[in-house]
Structure 1
């Protein structure tokens, strides 16, 4: 056993030696992603504290609190894993492939990451998969494995240890991206059999299983419809199941019902999936118009954006390094958590951008959901997303979202006390 761990340590050090140099050269490119992760964690904690305060004050029902807390946790987990889970209104589109492939390659190429994380969270069963790769042709040939080779390793590992829910989930989502939908349904079934039914992830897997069944059948069959209903009984806001339910209504010509379901899905969908759902709503509206039927009001389709021009006073600019982070944000009046935010550096200033829903921190807190917002810009002297004394900032401007068409001018001109 000592030889095994010593071998793992040696391989890890060698892998890190090869990986470190190119990563060091691209460090600046990764700072934005790192800061975004830290910002999301900070926002998660702040939002959770606000929800707890509202619950304790009696203004938020416990059931609503639990639902919002679960949604916050799910969003944070999906952001950390880099694997958003959603369904598009267009049935042939599968989202999340770049994120999934990145995770797969990291698990194969960086043993220390897989070993440490899986050991810490009770998933050490997949460590053997990393060890086995040393005997594979791609390792001996010094090349990266193909997707098929990675899948083969994972299939072999799961054949020996079939009770690994995470392994089956990774395999299922990989099958989906490969177009192997029948195999994906079988793998999702394995996850549902192994994963505790009270797990917060259980409804999410149920929705993805329904999606896999949909792709297998090419239509919303009775089997697919039953799985959609079971998922929504467990979690009424599960986005994948809602998206499929809208597709079902649309295919039956029930365009108003489809729009209603998709509007609900928009409340919880990530920005990328939200745009696809909006396209489905637009298609349903077109069908209603062609049939001569009255069109329902869909405010979610109104594109909301705040154009901004951000600059810094020449006196303060002389005190800064070009790589100092700049945070530009919009938040509810009197609130703390941004409904839209973007990160740049001092060297990017002056800059003109538009804040919109694609820059939301969570699906439930979007720019389009606010009538008025506070807009500001801040240069973080500590490099952290949260404000602290000594940062440089612009005055906060309160604007009416729907009425703002001309770019707002934000001048960073004072030190935060």
Structure 2
């Protein structure tokens, strides 16, 4: 804060200089005015003398006119180069009073409308926190200073969850949703906080929140993880396995969370077997997509290619899909429940599917220029599938 106040002081001195400058210049202007007034008085006295001499008969009309012209030239010469007369006068007291009031008024306005607290917080955040409580305290003050900051609310909610304060986190995430809209990540975080705040009681409200989040983003990691936890706690072990497997596919290789997640999947599998159940093999298809040679000069490298699986006997909506470009062909991709368009319609929900690849110049998955389709195949236990885009899309 010292640097801030030094900068403010320098700006204040500059402002005072502008206010006091007229006072310093006023003395010279006053001297000019006094000299000009004296010259005018002398001119008027000279004209009066000439008029008296004419009245006494000493000067004739021509001599009077000549005398007046000489007096006027002398007055003009004396006043030439003088600064124009000021039209108004502030006096000396008013600028001094204003100069004293400006810093006081500026300080008052800054303390009322300024952001000294935000400047201090910025400097504080530049230093590493000493403890989790210190970080939470900083985030709370940041949210207080900027109550409409969704980012600040998000990080505060995450900090509350890390410190086992789910009820406080739920309130913060609710505010974030009200400000930013119903974003999938925020909905998932809000549902998770409510779940733990309610002592792991699954409710229709939590079901609706996670449904909404996964509909907008089928790969929302928070909702997938929460659904898996809730299913495990309710002994729905196959559901827990499915959700956690989808979540695992979203995590990068080498992520420490994948090992912990696999531990949960293993425990769910053991309990499922102990209860007499048999784990269902995850639905996963690997397909190699190529473009027919006859079409290579009819497409553009940046044209979109949609590769998807849809139910052989069911709705036409894709169950799992990926998007690439013509420039990437030929390509080998993997379709699984992690690529589901809707959480309620997954690849594993159907025993038989059809693979489709479509070139769409407009980037529309439902219509395009060229297409390739495969025969119906089981959704599980298949090897590498081959698909060639070779005919017009009708």
- Give the TM-score normalised by the residue count of structure 1: 0.46
Higher relative contact order (CA 8 A, sep 6+): 1
The structure with the larger Rg is: 2
- Give the TM-score normalised by the residue count of structure 2: 0.49
